[in-house]
């Protein structure tokens, strides 16, 4: 099938690559020449706008950095809404429910279906096709394209309400970031007391403190001091902000979540928006007055 893909960053580039691996052809769009080149070298056709992608393809995926960019890409003056061929728009980005509802309603008025399909599993999952994909929106569209979306990983249909996938994703990222934050604090305290960080992780991974932070983040990006797990601090902060805003709108207090958002905000301030979110470990080291680097 000929498929559209908009946003070829850390995640989108790899997911688009998996569609090519599966035998599909692509029309792609990204303002970054470098991002497009990797896919163009594999036969993808470059389009100048989101509309131009939607003029060529009935199915269009997007993997974009912010809710506003997703909304503009879907409904803006050169958005997919003006495309002549598009039938279904699948947003793989983490945008929160508000934008999912706006995109769903805006596109529906033009006869285009929208699925929110945020993903979890990081660049490793995107590369290997082992992401969790949490889908909300019309079940008929999900059924129609299920086998294509499944090249990215394991699918979960969360419900027909637009944004159902987004809610699940925000819950996941709240828990994932909280786990990194509390691991960072515990590891900094242990190191300050003189324990060996590598040995601490070995202990935690066979103890009740084990988590995706101790199993993946520390061994891969914190212990080697590479801080290159593949998720920008600004994007993690965006996800926490969306989660807390939505919880607050529902009247759901988030005591731990508020602290984690502050922790991420301080990390963004100290190491910059493009830093890796595993830099939370460095923030905890600063607070513990450890000179680790
Ligand atoms: P990224 O910043 O690496 O990639 C975003 C891409 O979008 C870039 O290539 C950028 O040039 C492109 N872009 C920006 N504006 C655009 C526009 N108007 N039209 C077309 N392309 C545009 O981000 P990422 O890490 O790949 O994340 C993408 C989405 O996936 C985000 O919503 C993020 O929250 C989510 N996500 C990321 C990860 C991760 O581990 N990196 C994991 C799960 C979910």
Q: Which pLDDT tens digit goes with each residue over 224-249?
A: 999 999 999 999 999 999 999 999 99
User: In the numeric block, which tokens belong to residue 146?
Assistant: 């299920």
19-47 mean pLDDT: 97
The alpha carbon of 30 and the centre of ligand 1 are apart by a number of angstroms equal to 10
Pocket test for ligand 1, best of 26, 30, 73, 240 (most atoms within 8 A of CB): 30
List Cα–Cα distances, 205 to 4, 113, 122, 126, 280, in angstroms. 41, 44, 20, 24, 19
- Give tens-digit pLDDT for 118-132: 999 999 999 999 999
- The string of pLDDT tens digits covering residues 81-137 is 999 999 999 999 999 999 999 999 999 999 999 999 999 999 999 999 999 999 999
The phi and psi torsions of 64 (rounded to 5 degrees) equal: -125, 160
Span from the CA of 224 to the centroid of ligand 1 (angstroms): 25
Contacts (Cβ under 8 Å, ≥6 apart) of 186: 209
Task: Check pLDDT > 80 for residue 292.
Answer: no
What whole-number distance in Å separates Cα of residue 249 and Cα of residue 170? 14
- Provide the 3-class DSSP secondary structure of residue 83: coil
Angle, alpha carbons 8-278-184 (nearest 5°): 160
Residue 143, pLDDT score: 97
Give the mutation target among 70, 180, 235, 274 for probing the ligand 1 site: most ligand atoms within 8 A of CB: 235
119 pocket-lining for ligand 1 (C-beta < 6 Å): yes
Percent of the chain at pLDDT above 90? Answer: 99
Give the closest residue to 70 by CA, choosing from 110, 101, 113: 101
pLDDT at 137: 97
Amino acid 286: pLDDT:
97
CB-neighbour burial class of residue 269 (10 A; exposed 0-12, middle 13-18, buried 19+): exposed
pLDDT of residue 289: 94
Strand 113-116, strand 119-120: pairing: unpaired
Say whether 87 is catalytic: no
**Rounded Cα distance, 196 and 292, in Å:** 12
In this structure, the residue with its CA closest to atom 38 of ligand 1 is 122
What are the tens digits of pLDDT across the range 265-283?
999 999 999 999 999 999 9
Domains (range + CATH), the chain? 2-160 (3.40.50.720), 167-287 (1.10.1040.10)
Mean pLDDT of all residues in 62-75 = 97
Q: Tens digit of pLDDT for each residue in 174-190? A: 999 999 999 999 999 99
> Do 169 and 153 meet the contact criterion of CB atoms below 8 Å apart?
no
281 in Cβ contact with 288 (< 8 Å): no
Query: How, if at all, do strands 59-62 and 2-6 pair?
Result: parallel
Query: Are residues 282 and 289 in contact, defined by beta-carbon separation less than 8 angstroms?
Result: no
């Amino acid at each position: 099938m000929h498929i559209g893909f908009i946003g070829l960053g850390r995640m989108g580039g790899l997911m688009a690559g998996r569609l090519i691996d599966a035998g599909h052809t692509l029309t792609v769009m990204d303002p970054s020449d470098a991002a497009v080149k990797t896919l163009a070298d594999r036969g993808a056709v470059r389009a100048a706008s989101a509309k131009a992608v939607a003029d060529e393809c009935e199915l269009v995926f997007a993997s974009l950095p912010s809710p506003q960019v997703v909304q503009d890409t879907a409904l803006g003056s050169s958005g997919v809404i003006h495309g002549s061929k598009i039938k279904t728009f699948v947003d793989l980005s983490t945008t929160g429910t508000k934008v999912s509802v706006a995109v769903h309603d805006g596109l529906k008025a033009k006869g285009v279906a929208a699925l929110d399909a945020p993903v979890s599993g990081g660049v490793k999952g995107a590369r290997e096709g082992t992401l969790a994909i949490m889908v909300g929106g019309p079940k008929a569209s999900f059924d129609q394209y299920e086998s294509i979306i499944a090249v990215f990983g394991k699918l979960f249909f969360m419900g027909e309400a637009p944004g159902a996938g987004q809610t699940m994703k925000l819950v996941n990222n709240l828990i994932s970031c909280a786990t990194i934050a509390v691991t960072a604090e515990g590891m900094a305290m242990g190191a300050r007391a003189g324990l060996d960080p590598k040995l601490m992780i070995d202990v935690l991974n066979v103890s009740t403190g084990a988590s995706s932070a101790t199993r993946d983040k520390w061994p891969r990006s914190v212990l080697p001091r590479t801080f290159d797990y593949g998720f920008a601090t600004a994007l993690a902060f965006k996800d926490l902000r969306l989660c807390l805003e939505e919880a607050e709108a529902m009247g759901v207090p988030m005591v731990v979540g508020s602290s984690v958002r502050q922790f991420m905000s301080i990390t963004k301030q100290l190491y910059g928006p493009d830093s890796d979110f595993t830099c939370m470990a460095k923030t905890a080291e600063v607070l513990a007055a450890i000179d680790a680097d």
